[in-house]
Amino acid sequence: MESGIKSDNTGKVISIRGSVVDILFEKHLPPIRSLLRTGTNNQISIEVFSQLDTQRIRGIALTPTQGLARGMLVQDTGAPLQTPVGKGILSRMFDVFGNTLDKQGIPTEVQWRSVHNEPPALEQRSTKTEVFETGIKVIDVLMPLERGGKAGLFGGAGVGKTVLLTEMIHNMVGQHAGVSIFCGIGERCREGEELYREMKAAGVLDNMVMMFGQMNEPPGARFRVGHAALTMAEYFRDDEHRDVLLLVDNVFRFIQAGMEVSGLMGQMPARLGYQPTMGTELSQLEERIANTGSGAITSIQAVYVPADDFTDPAAVHTFSHLSASIVLSRQRASEGLYPAIDPLQSSSKMATPSIIGQRHYDLAQAIRRTLAQYSELKDIIAMLGMEQLSPEDHKVVGRARRLERFLTQPFFTTEQFTGMSGKLVSLDEALEGCERILNDEFEDYPESALYMIGAIDEAHDKSKSSVAQEDKNVANVHDA
């Protein structure tokens, strides 16, 4: 942690209510967002939230307030919360104060910068539009991501947001020469520790920085983790002119921390108990993620959707900032179709002919149309059975079911659980596979031959092995 206290302005604690502390300053009031230190070894950090009158401020504690008592002296640091930036932070793991969490000592060659920065001005932003390939078929074909854009992974609890995020880190490190910054907001400590070990084993830590604000930390600290990670990302973009991949898990926890802070401060709640300032707070964070002339911050953000309700204000506000929305569906997860992405609910602003090309656009539209028709026919199939469908509808159902299975993919990060080796599929291979399925080239193949494969040609081998297995099973039955 940065230790230098630069101000001789001191105050006195006059009231403590949980994380909310009122402090009296007789000389002059510290500005809002200033960081104050108190406690026996200055171990308690407080951020100024509001100025109550000419001598009193109300602050929110970023650390637990055990041991704090009325009358204790408070030191104004004369600066807002700061975080370390520089080459020395690569391959390290930090908390919101810039303390290292990986037991590797204090990083050298670092400067300290305020976590509160303005977003880049409009004239500094780049207007170039490029697609960002991930190697995951369903994303690259139906909801292409934007370089320097913001993509959201939406889903309820346990549908695979963190797994998909981890897979994207794995795939992008190979083809993405920039820096990856992982920001865990309100994370379980298990997830942080697992991710650190996985990234170390994959040999990608050298170009990666991790920042965590765990679930058990006070809301004030969780609320500032995103800002601290963004300050690091802005350093690599603006000072080193490198592309940055910023992975945020989970934006909902940022909104939730803001809601807790707002409640502690006694603000009147808005819709569904959310803070009245939610839109502003989210915008201050999201607008800093931008593509400028010197480099791009491409962001992929997991967003927990409370009770799978996409009309929840947290989900609605987050949607408005994104260039691509990847919606995970519990229904597809229960059918074993992983990644459990719902192709009809997910969307991308990049999916226009002028950006991805006419062939890709037409194919994506044809896939969506086929899947939408199948979705409409599901009710008829459930009530009357497949026999009642017309021959043309039969074909549509066959195509759609084969497309659904082709758009599944074994992940590198789940090899130890599934026993299947991960696959990275280029956009051309994915498009070719979808085109051939739509042209009915695989109507004689069992649907299982297209499940959990990489490129489409793997279906031939899988089909042969499944036929051989069936013959073997029939022979065993006869022998018995």
pLDDT tens for each residue of the chain, 480 residues long: 554 556 789 999 999 999 999 999 998 999 999 999 999 889 999 999 999 999 999 999 999 999 999 999 999 999 999 999 999 999 999 999 999 999 888 888 899 999 999 999 999 988 888 898 899 999 999 999 998 899 999 988 889 888 898 888 888 766 666 789 999 999 888 888 888 888 887 777 888 999 999 999 999 999 999 999 999 999 999 999 988 999 998 899 999 999 999 999 999 999 899 999 999 999 999 999 988 888 889 999 999 999 889 899 999 999 999 999 999 999 999 999 999 999 999 999 999 999 999 999 999 999 999 999 999 999 889 888 888 889 999 999 999 999 999 999 999 888 888 899 999 999 999 999 999 999 999 999 999 999 999 999 999 888 877 766 666 665 665 565
DSSP, residue by residue, 45-65: EEEEEEE-SSSEEEEEESS--
Tell me if 9 sits within 8 A of 208, measured CB to CB: no
Q: Single out the residue of 177, 171, 257, 176 nearest to residue 222, CA to CA.
A: 257
Rounded distance between C-alpha atoms, residue 41 and residue 3, angstroms: 11
Residue 181 host element (H or E): strand 179-187
Q: For residue 3, what pLDDT is reported? A: 47
Q: For residue 258, what pLDDT is reported? A: 96
Rounded distance between C-alpha atoms, residue 255 and residue 288, angstroms: 16
Buried/exposed code over 366-388 (b: 16+ C-beta within 10 A; e: otherwise):
ebbebbeebeebeeeeeeeeeee
DSSP lists the bridge partners of residue 132 as 145
Q: What is the CA radius of gyration of the chain?
A: 26
3-state SS, residue 92: coil
Q: Provide the annotated active-site residues.
A: 161, 187-188
Q: For residue 463, what pLDDT is reported? A: 82
Residue with tokens 């609890």, as numbered in its chain: 157
- DSSP alpha helix (H) spans, 345-457: 353-356, 358-384, 391-406, 415-418, 427-438
Q: For residue 46, what pLDDT is reported? A: 97
**Phi/psi of residue 54, each to 5°?**
-70, -10
Give 392-400's long-range contacts (Cβ < 8 A, gap of 24+). 395/440, 395/443, 396/370, 398/443, 399/370, 399/437, 399/438, 399/440, 399/443, 400/370, 400/371, 400/373, 400/374
Q: Single out the residue of 61, 110, 102 nearest to residue 84, CA to CA.
A: 110
3-state SS, residue 148: coil
